[in-house]
Amino acid sequence: MPGLDLSGRTALVCGASRGIGRACAGALAELGARVFVAARSERELAGTVAGLPADAGQAHGHLAIDLGDTDAVRAHARALLERSGPVEILVNNSGGPPAGTATGASPDQFEEAFRQHLLAAQVLVQTLQPGMEERGYGRVVNIISTSVKQPIPGLGVSNTIRGAVASWAKTIARELAPFGITVNNVLPGFTDTERLRYFFGQRADAAGVSVEEARRRALAGVPAGRFAAPEEIAAAVAFLASPAAGYVNGINLPVDGGMLGCL
Ligand code: NAD
């Protein structure tokens, strides 16, 4: 049976200085991959790398990139290939757009989110694809949101961009399948990170209640009765990145404690 071992594989995990991305880097390294992490802060990335499990002689690394700068993303990805050889696993992840209604958002906010999420993912896939093809093994995993199945009130720009990424991912999943490359989305439910603390602060302000009350109301909609740990999202990502998931392609996988009510 194909297993979870990622020895000999190289991964790039974006948005990995904290939260879900950081946990994904840890999970992939745990399974044996050499991991490169990307985000904006050199200092925080160095902290992520220092915390990764490593076999003797395994050199993880980091790239300081703003995912909203499309040309820089492409340039960094090319430089990474020269340094590391083919990168077979790509985790597309970035900070969520600011909260607010869709009708209240400016065109600039939509454009910024589109660049940071969709265009970054697009140029990374384009740049890494030849190496994945050469290896006959590619795994693209996009961290998006349950909002692709049920839009979340107060996250207008985010809901819109996640839908665009989901549709892009489904399209390229079919284009890349013949080369042994899969493309899947992980849809985290409420996950205990900085983003969730920001979100509850915004929800509390909008509803005129305390942050504790906003948390309590959110939790009432989660059958598991608790929020996820980032490592629980990372476990799903690691599975999709592994040989075991070789025939899983083009899916949206909610990891939400049963929160979504739809099929
Ligand atoms: P987080 O805010 O804790 O971490 C985001 C990571 O992305 C950080 O490493 C940050 O430095 C990096 N980042 C942000 N903007 C960047 C940029 N322009 N360039 C490069 N790196 C950048 O978020 P998280 O909770 O770990 O969530 C990860 C993703 O999953 C986000 O898109 C979030 O909206 C989404 N999500 C989170 C939850 C949740 O409950 N936490 C639920 C659903 C979806």
Neighbours of 79 (CB within 10 A): 11
- Alpha-carbon gap, residue 6 to 203, rounded angstroms: 40
CA of 224 relative to ligand 1 center, distance in Å: 23
CA of 13 relative to ligand 1 center, distance in Å: 12
Give me the residues paired with residue 89 across strands: 11, 139
Nearest-atom number in ligand 1 for the CA of 117 is 32
The closest residue, in CA terms, to atom 12 on ligand 1 is 15
The secondary structure element, H or E, covering residue 182 is strand 181-188
Residues with CB under 6 A from ligand 1: 15-21, 39-40, 65-68, 93-96, 116, 143, 145, 188, 190-191, 193-196
User: What's residue 54's pLDDT?
Assistant: 82
Taking 70 as the pLDDT cut, the residues of the chain under it are 56-57
The closest residue, in CA terms, to atom 33 on ligand 1 is 96
User: What is the model's pTM?
Assistant: 0.98
